[in-house]
Structure 1
Amino acid sequence: MALVALASAKGSPGVTTASLVFGALWPRQVLLAECDPAGSDVAIRMTGPGGAPLNSDRGLVSLAAASRKGLGDEVILAHSQQLDGGLDVMLGVRSPEQVGGMGGLWHPLGISFNQMQHGDVLADCGRIGASSPQLPVVQSARLIVLVCTATGSSVAHLRERLSSLVHHVDAQLGVVVVADPRRRDGVKQVWSVLDAMSVTVRHRWHLAFDPAGAAFFDGRGQGRLDKTQLIRSATDIVGEMAALVATPEQHEFDMAQAAFPQHEEWGQ
C-alpha cells in the first residue's frame, strides 16, 4: 500500500485534526501513525472502543523496543490500537524526551509504513524542519502534504519549507489550506504564492476551518458529524488523496538494512 505524510512548516495548524478526519474517511484500510516528536495528542483527545482510555504505553516507543527483529505488518499492528469508531492508530511519544529512545527507528519505520500489506498509512509528522528526527518518515512517503492556514506568516513558512523539501524528497507534493469556507480569496492567494514558486505543487486542497466539526475529534462534538463543513470539505480531499497513492510501487527491500540503517543527515 502507501504512506502519506502530513506535516506543517511551523507549528501544527490543524495537522492532527486533519489526519484524524482523513483517516476516518479513508476508503481503504488505513493506519494513522503519530510521528510528531512533540508528543501524542491522540491519546489525550480520543478514546478507544466504548469510550475506554487508550493505552499511552503502546505505540512508537513500545515498537522501538520490539523492532530489533524487523518491522513487518504483524509487528507494527501489535503496537497499534483502535479508536472508538474503528480507526487503527499508532500512538506517538508521550513527550519530546522519549524521542531519544527511538534510536534509528525512523528510517526503517518510514520504509515499512510505505510497504505495509495491511493497508495505507497516514503519518501525522507535526512540524518539520532541517533537524526534525522524523524526516526519514517524510522522505519515505508516496505523498507529502503540508498543512497551512491562509495567514501571511503560515504561507511564508510554507514557501520556505517547500523550497527546501523539494531537494530532499522523491514524492508527490500537496498542500492543504485550512480556512473559513467564506475566505476563498485567502485560499486563492495561497495558490498564487505557489504558482509563483519554482516548486511544482499540483495537488491543492481547501479544508474548511470548522470548530464545530473539529470538536468531534477532540471529544466535544455535538449533533451530526456528517453534516459539518469539515466533513463535507474533507470527503472530496480524501477521495483524491487515496486515488493518488492507489497505484502500487515495487521495491527491493532488505529487512536487515532497514533494521540497522546507516544514518543519513538532511541535505546529504
Structure 2
Amino acid sequence: MALVAFASAKGSPGVTTAGLVLGALWPRQVLLAECDPSGSDVAIRMTAPGGAPLNSDRGLVSLAAASRKGLGDEVILAHSQQLDGGLDVLLGVRSPEQIGGMGGLWHPLGISFNQMQAADVLADCGRVSATAPQLPVIHSARLIVMVCTATGSSVAHLRERLSSLVHHVDAQLGVVVVADPKQRDAVKQVWTVLDQMSVPVRHRWHLAYDPVGAAFFDGRGHGRLEKTQLIRSATDIAAEMSALVATPHDFDMAQAAFPGQGER
C-alpha cells in the first residue's frame, strides 16, 4: 500500500490532529505511526477501546528492540495498538531522550511503511528540519504533506522547508493549511506563495481550524463529531489523499486499457 508523511516546518500547526482525523476517515485499512522525536501526543490524548489507557511501552521503541527480526507487516502491527474508535496506531517515543536508542531504524522503517501490504501508513513526523532524525521516513513516503497555518511566519518556514525537501525526495508534495473556514482569502494567499515557488506543490487542501472538532481528538469532545467543521473539511481531504496514493492493484488495469470491453 503506501506511506503518507505529515510534517510541519515550524511550531504546532496541528500535525497530530490532522493525522488522527484523516486516519479516522481513511477509506482503507490504515495505521497512524507517530514518528515525531519530540514525544508521543496520542498516548496522552487518546484511550484504548472502553476508555482504558494506552500502553506507552508498546510502540516505536519496542519495535526498535524487535527490529532484528525484520520489519514486515506482522512485526510492525504486533507493536501497534487500537484507539477507542478503531484506528490502529504505532505510538511514538515517550520523550526525546529515547530517540538515542532507535539506532539505524529510521531508514528501514520508512521503506517498510511504504511497502506494507496490510494497510496504508500515515506517519506523524512532527516538526522537520535539515537534521531531523525522522527524515528517512519522510524521504520514503509516496506523498509528503506539509501542514501549516495561514500566518506569515508559518508560510515563510514552509517555503524554506519545501525548497530543501524537493532536492531529496521522489514523492508527490502537498500542503494542508489549517485555518478558520472564513479565512478563505488568507488561504488563497498561501496558494499564491506556492504558485510563485519553483517547487511543484500540486496538491493543496484547507483543513478547518475548529477547536470544537479538535477536542474530540484530545479526549475532550462533546456533541456530534460528524457535524463539526473539522470533519466536514477532512472527509474530502481523506478521500483525495487516499486516491492519490492508491496502488496499481486497486484498479482494473484491463478496464483502464480497454474501457467498456467488459460492459456487455
TM-score calculated relative to the size of structure 2: 0.94
Q: Is the 8 A contact 1:2 1:248 kept in 2?
A: no
Structure 1 unaligned segments of length 5 or more: list them.
250-268
1:186-197 matches, cutoff 5 A: 186-197=186-197
Contact 1:3 1:122 in 2 (8 A): yes
Segments of 4+ moved more than 3 angstroms? none
Q: Distance in 1 between matches of 2:66 and 2:248?
A: 28
RMSD: 0.7
Match of 2:144 in 1: 144
In the alignment, the residues of structure 2 paired with residue 82 and residue 190 of structure 1 have an alpha-carbon distance, to the nearest angstrom, of 36
| Native 8 Å contact 1:11 1:126 kept in 2 | no
SS in 2 for 1:56: coil
Q: How does 1:128-167 map to 2 (within 5 A)?
A: 128-167=128-167
Residue correspondence of structure 1 range 108-257 to structure 2 within 5 A: 108-248=108-248
Partner Cα distance (1:248, 1:83) in 2 = 30
**Higher CA-based Rg:** 2
Distance in structure 2 (CA, Å) of the matches to 1:247 and 1:153: 36
1:66-81 map, 5 Å:
66-81=66-81
| Residue of structure 2 in register with 1:20 after alignment | 20
- Counterpart amino acid of residue 153 in structure 1: S
Equivalence for 2:254 = none
How far did residue 69 of structure 1 move? 1.6
State the alpha-carbon separation in 1 of the partners of residues 248 and 212 from structure 2. Answer: 37
Q: Share of identical aligned residues, percent?
A: 88
- Partner Cα separation in structure 2 for residue 89 and residue 108 of structure 1: 19
Measure the CA separation in 2 of the matches of 1:20 and 1:12.
15
Structure 1: how far apart are the matches of 2:11 and 2:40? 14
SS in 2 for 1:201: coil
The DSSP-based 3-state class of the residue aligned with 2:215 is helix
Offset, 1:248: 4.0
State the one-letter code of the partner of 1:152.
G
**Runs (5+) with no aligned partner, structure 2:** 250-264
What's the secondary structure of 2:108's corresponding residue?
Answer: helix
Distance 1:116 1:223 in 2: 36
Aligned residues between the structures: 249
**Residues 118-137 of structure 1, C-alpha deviations (whole Å, 9 max, x = no match):** 11000000001110000000
Q: Offset of 1:11 from its aligned partner?
A: 2.1
Cα offset for 1:247?
A: 2.3
8 Å CA contact retained: 1:81, 1:89:
yes
- 1:80-95 pair list within 5 angstroms: 80-95=80-95
Q: Which residue in the other structure is 1:100 paired with?
A: 100
TM-score by length of 1: 0.92
* Partner-residue secondary structure (3-state), 2:99: helix
